[in-house]
């Protein structure tokens, strides 16, 4: 049986303990609740004497030059843990106001974190907000602007399978580590810390290990295409299958966390089949779906008249709505069609 492990929350005193509780689970889970790319597929390494050739005609950098360009924007994130141990992960500078983005599971339950910059200096950060449904968090430091080398976000929807990517982070506390690989697959589903589905995850064979979580996955132009979050492993170490939360999700959630300190997701309350149409497997008790008369076996085909062809479509449409809004679901049931009105709830945290 394969095990999914959160890639970063490495407790220095007990590495495996802080990870297994969140990271172990099945690769695909569907809950039905709503939650550019590199220009070349070749990773080239230029010698230090060949700076003129380090940038190709497509505008991409060698790994060495990309690291020199982007590593100053990557930090180590540490928080105190139970028993005096310390949980550790990575993060990157989001803006020049001192906001740093990392994974929720890196700072889970903490109000402050210690940020270690590439020059070895440290600063205390306040946790601005967290969203376990997407495993994203924002913390804020008050430091001179010279320390804040913000990294730009790319459009993750423009990624292609085979595009070159680079991960920078602090695996096992080894800060400033760079690994390179490709986008192995797109549109994967991974399980969030609160057991909801994160859609459109990026799969990569760039080496990701405990402590990488929250660090950036970069395209070959040095732009953030995702945040490294999980690995799939039998051994608990890197086996060439890692996952990153896509940058388009990062942009949306970070904006809300900085603005409001929290994110509310619309909630329907059903479990869906992992593949194919948006077929309801079960309806949770006391949820908006139950109140509206949704039944196990229903197939959702439309939401407010918009066609739904899969669970991903349904979650995407739901995520465009706010808790408390009413939507109309069109479902097929027993060979017929039903129209149900649902008042959406707030997803449990």
Q: What is the CATH number of the domain that holds 45?
A: 2.40.10.120
Kindly name the residue from 105, 210, 265, 321 that is annotated as catalytic: 105
Closest CA to 21 of 29, 13, 11: 11
Kindly name the residue from 135, 163, 199, 313 that is annotated as catalytic: 135
Q: Does 298 participate in catalysis according to the annotation? A: no
- End of a domain among 229, 263, 297? 263
Q: Do 215 and 75 reside in the same domain of the chain?
A: yes
Q: CB neighbours of 130 closer than 8 A, spacing ≥ 6?
A: 104, 107, 108, 136, 137, 138, 257, 262
**Is 198 contained in some domain?**
yes
Q: Do 282 and 206 reside in the same domain of the chain?
A: no
**Is 132 contained in some domain?**
yes
Q: Does 135 participate in catalysis according to the annotation? A: yes
Predicted TM-score of the model (pTM): 0.82
- Residue-range definition of the domain harbouring residue 293: 276-346
CATH number at residue 338: 2.30.42.10
What pLDDT is stored for residue 349 in this prediction?
Answer: 78
**Is 243 contained in some domain?**
yes
Q: What is the rounded distance in angstroms from the CA atom of residue 241 to the CA atom of residue 216?
A: 16
What pLDDT is stored for residue 41 in this prediction?
Answer: 32
Q: 279 has which bridge partners?
A: 299
Q: CB neighbours of 215 closer than 8 A, spacing ≥ 6?
A: 8, 74, 89, 90, 91, 92, 167, 168, 169, 170, 227, 228
> Tens of pLDDT along the chain (349 residues)?
444 555 544 433 322 222 222 222 223 333 444 433 333 333 333 333 333 333 443 678 899 999 999 999 999 999 986 566 678 999 999 999 999 999 999 999 999 999 999 999 999 999 999 999 999 999 999 999 999 999 999 999 999 999 999 999 999 999 999 999 999 999 999 999 999 999 999 999 999 999 999 999 999 999 999 999 999 888 777 788 999 999 999 999 999 999 999 999 999 999 999 889 999 999 999 999 999 999 999 999 999 999 999 999 999 999 999 999 999 999 999 999 999 999 999 998 7
Contact 13, 176 (CB under 8 A): no
Kindly name the residue from 184, 213, 233, 247 that is annotated as catalytic: 213
**Is 271 contained in some domain?**
no
Q: Do 161 and 281 reside in the same domain of the chain?
A: no
Torsion sign, CA atoms 262, 263, 264, 268:
negative
Hey, is 318 helix, strand or coil? Answer: helix
């Amino acid at each position: 049986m394969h095990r999914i492990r959160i890639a970063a929350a490495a407790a220095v005193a007990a590495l495996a303990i802080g990870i297994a509780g969140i990271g172990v689970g099945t690769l695909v889970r569907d809950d039905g609740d709503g939650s550019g790319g590199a220009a070349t597929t070749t990773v080239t390494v230029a010698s230090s004497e060949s700076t003129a050739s380090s940038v190709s005609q497509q505008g991409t950098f060698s790994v060495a030059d990309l690291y020199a360009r982007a590593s100053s924007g990557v930090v180590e994130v540490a928080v105190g843990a139970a028993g005096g141990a310390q949980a550790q992960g990575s993060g990157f500078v989001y803006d020049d106001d001192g906001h740093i983005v990392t994974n929720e599971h890196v700072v889970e339950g903490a109000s402050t974190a210690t940020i270690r910059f590439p020059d070895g200096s440290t600063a205390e950060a306040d946790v601005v907000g967290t969203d376990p449904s997407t495993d994203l968090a924002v913390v804020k430091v008050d430091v001179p602007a010279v320390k804040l080398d913000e990294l730009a976000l790319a459009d993750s929807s423009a990624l292609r399978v085979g595009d070159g990517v680079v991960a920078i982070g602090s695996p096992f506390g080894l800060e400033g580590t760079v690994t390179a690989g490709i986008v192995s697959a797109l549109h994967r589903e991974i399980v969030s810390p609160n057991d909801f589905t994160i859609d459109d995850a990026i799969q990569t064979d760039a080496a990701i290990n405990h402590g990488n979580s929250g660090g950036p996955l970069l395209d070959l132009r040095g732009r953030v295409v995702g945040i490294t979050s999980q690995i799939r492993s039998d051994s608990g170490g890197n086996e060439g299958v890692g996952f990153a939360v896509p940058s388009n999700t990062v942009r949306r959630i970070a904006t809300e966390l900085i603005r409001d300190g929290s994110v509310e997701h619309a909630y329907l309350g059903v479990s869906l089949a992992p593949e194919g149409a948006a077929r309801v497997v079960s309806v949770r008790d006391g949820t908006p779906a139950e109140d509206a008369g949704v039944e196990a076996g229903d197939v959702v085909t439309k939401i407010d008249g918009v066609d739904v062809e899969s669970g991903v479509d349904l979650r995407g449409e739901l995520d465009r709505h706010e808790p408390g809004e009413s939507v109309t679901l069109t479902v097929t049931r027993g060979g017929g069609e039903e129209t149900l009105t649902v008042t959406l709830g707030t997803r449990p945290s």
